[in-house]
Copies of this chain bind each other. A is one copy, B any other.
């Protein structure tokens, strides 16, 4: 029942985004900014990628959601990101945080924690290395760079797993861990999504694009867990369809945009693969 409710919600969100076409303000890194603007358009929302603080008051007042992606950070961008977060609070614009590279650098980690402490983040999304670094879960191996693919999360000890819903509760947000499977965690529910293909890890910015989609669906959906589930599922189903036609990572990332722009409700319904799980 609950699952049917979510399935219908995903399909409604997919269609509503194209109709309502919300404005999504995105501060992001220079590597994937172009792909993120394009995937936002493909999904039906309108991207705006302003990163100058003097513009924030004008732009965030009009925005329907804010994405803060802290990859390729520096002092100036750090200040801009903090100010954008405060401006979003002022205008009650919901915020998604993508803590890119938080596992590889203490500078980035401190910024991410400061943003979480603001209490203003609705969804935080990262790979296992990034989220574990924020939550304080120890890994057997060191985490290097942005492409870490975690061990099977469910094999972690129960006392470590318990930290994840506690983290979501503490900061009042939905935590999304992306990987071969994707894990969505709020203080009460945990969902495991099994859509997706290995090629998603073979292109840069697939995680960043997920962030753009989370912000897009959060703009039109008051329930952050359903918004997150929609963004992850729509990206991964589109990737499955793109991978069938692609001859490698280049054509895959192009077809990903094509398929994401033109999913059918039945196609989504048939392909959706997620389940409720108990983390601890």
Per-residue B-contact encoding for A88-121, CB less than 8 Å = 1, 0 else: 0000000000000100111110000000000000
Residue of B nearest to A26 (CB): B31
Residues of B within 8 A of A46 (CB): 144-147
A48 at the interface (CB under 8 A from B): yes
- Residues of A116-137 at the interface with B, using a CB-CB cut-off of 8 Å, are none
A104 touches which one: B59, B71, B205 (CB < 8 A)?
Answer: B59
Interface centre among A30, A47, A205, A262 (most CB of B within 10 A): A30
A268 at the interface (CB under 8 A from B): no
Q: Nearest 5 A-B pairs (CB), nearest first?
A: A248-B258, A250-B257, A37-B204, A250-B254, A52-B74
Interface size of A by Cβ–Cβ distance < 8 Å?
A: 61
Q: Which residues of A contact B (CB under 8 A)?
A: 23, 29-35, 37-38, 41-42, 46-52, 54-55, 58-59, 62, 71-76, 101, 104-108, 142, 144-147, 202-205, 246-251, 253-262
Residues of B within 8 A of A58 (CB): 104-107
Q: Once the chains bind, are B101 and A72 in contact (CB under 8 Å)?
A: no
